[in-house]
Structure 1
Amino acid sequence: MDNQNPVVDALRVVLADSYAVMAQTHICHWNVRGPGFFALHTAFEGQYTELFAAVDEIAERIRALGALAPGGLASLAGLAGTSEIEEDADAESMVSHLIRINEKLVADLKTARDAAGDAGDSPTEDLMIERIQLHEKTIWMLRSYLGK
Structure 2
Amino acid sequence: MTQTAAQLTPSAQDAICEALTQSVAETAVTTMLAQNFHWNVTGMAFGALHDMFQTIYEDHFTAQDALAERVKALGGHAEGRLSEMLKRSKVAEHDGHASAEDMVAAMAKAQDTLAATLAGTAAVAEEHGDLLTQDMAIARGQTHEKFAWLLRAHLG
Aligned to 1:119: 128
For the pair 1:62 / 2:71, whether they are aligned, the reply is yes
CA separation in 1, counterparts of 2:114 and 2:91? 10
Aligned to 1:137: 146
Aligned AA for 1:136? E
What is the Cα-based RMSD across aligned positions, in Å? 1.4
CA separation in 2, counterparts of 1:3 and 1:20? 26
For the pair 1:47 / 2:50, whether they are aligned, the reply is no
For the pair 1:34 / 2:43, whether they are aligned, the reply is yes
Aligned AA for 1:40? L
Q: Where does the alignment leave 5 or more consecutive residues of structure 1 unmatched?
A: none
Q: 1:53 to 1:13 in 2, by over 3 A?
A: same
Aligned to 2:93: 84
Relative to the length of structure 1, the TM-score reads 0.94
Q: CA deviation at 1:110?
A: 0.7
Asked if structure 1 preserves the Cα contact closer than 8 Å seen for 2:90 and 2:113, the reply is: no
Aligned AA for 2:117? D
Aligned to 2:32: 23
Aligned to 1:74: 83
Structure label with greater radius of gyration? 2
**1:20-73 CA-partner distances (Å, limit 9, x unpaired):** 110000000000000000000011111100111111000000000001111111
Asked if structure 2 preserves the Cα contact closer than 8 Å seen for 1:3 and 1:9, the reply is: no
SS at match of 1:5: helix
CA separation in 2, counterparts of 1:87 and 1:53? 23
Asked if structure 2 preserves the Cα contact closer than 8 Å seen for 1:19 and 1:76, the reply is: yes
CA separation in 1, counterparts of 2:132 and 2:154? 34
Aligned AA for 1:19? A
Question: What percent of counterpart residues are identical?
Answer: 36
Relative to the length of structure 2, the TM-score reads 0.90
Q: Where does the alignment leave 5 or more consecutive residues of structure 2 unmatched?
A: 1-10
CA separation in 2, counterparts of 1:30 and 1:73? 20
Aligned to 2:7: none
